[in-house]
Amino acid sequence: MWILWAAFQVGVCVFFFFLRQAAPTSPAASGSWPWLLALGPLTISAGLRWIVMPRLRNPEHGLVCMVLGIAMAEAVTFFGLFLAPQYQREFFVLSFLGILQFMPFYARRFFPAEEPDSLRQPFAN
């Protein structure tokens, strides 16, 4: 899971640094539609991470939920690169933080550690 998460995290950086355009010096008067466009997937991503994932008991479902949440957060970078280039830096930071919340520390509960031999009862049969 760590390798998958790291690949997505590095991937969003690569996309941003190689696909970004020269942003206008001052943002155009575009209103709030770009921010609504970005906050939609980020809200879904955060909801998957903090509401849905803690309730899951199956590691396969956790992996699917992780990939969906990361994809939603990663979409914000593409929105900034292609749909609202005046906000591409801000959307990249939001996307980076959205993927960062999926660091798989939560995966430990899917794979409980085996009890070491030293903790077993020495005379139990």
Q: Check: pTM over 0.75? Answer yes or no.
A: yes
Instruction: Render each residue's pLDDT in the chain as its tens digit; 125 residues.
Output: 889 999 999 999 999 999 987 766 565 556 788 888 899 999 999 999 999 999 998 989 999 999 999 999 999 999 999 988 888 999 999 999 999 999 998 888 877 776 555 555 555 55
How large is the C-alpha radius of gyration of the chain?
A: 20
Query: For residues 14 and 81, is the Cβ–Cβ distance under 8 A?
Result: no
Taking the CA atoms of 103, 38, 18 and 67 in sequence, report the sign of the dihedral they define: positive
Q: In angstroms, rounded to a whole number, what is the distance separating the alpha carbons of residues 87 and 22?
A: 11
In terms of Cβ atoms closer than 10 Å to its own Cβ (0-12, 13-18, 19+), residue 118 is exposed
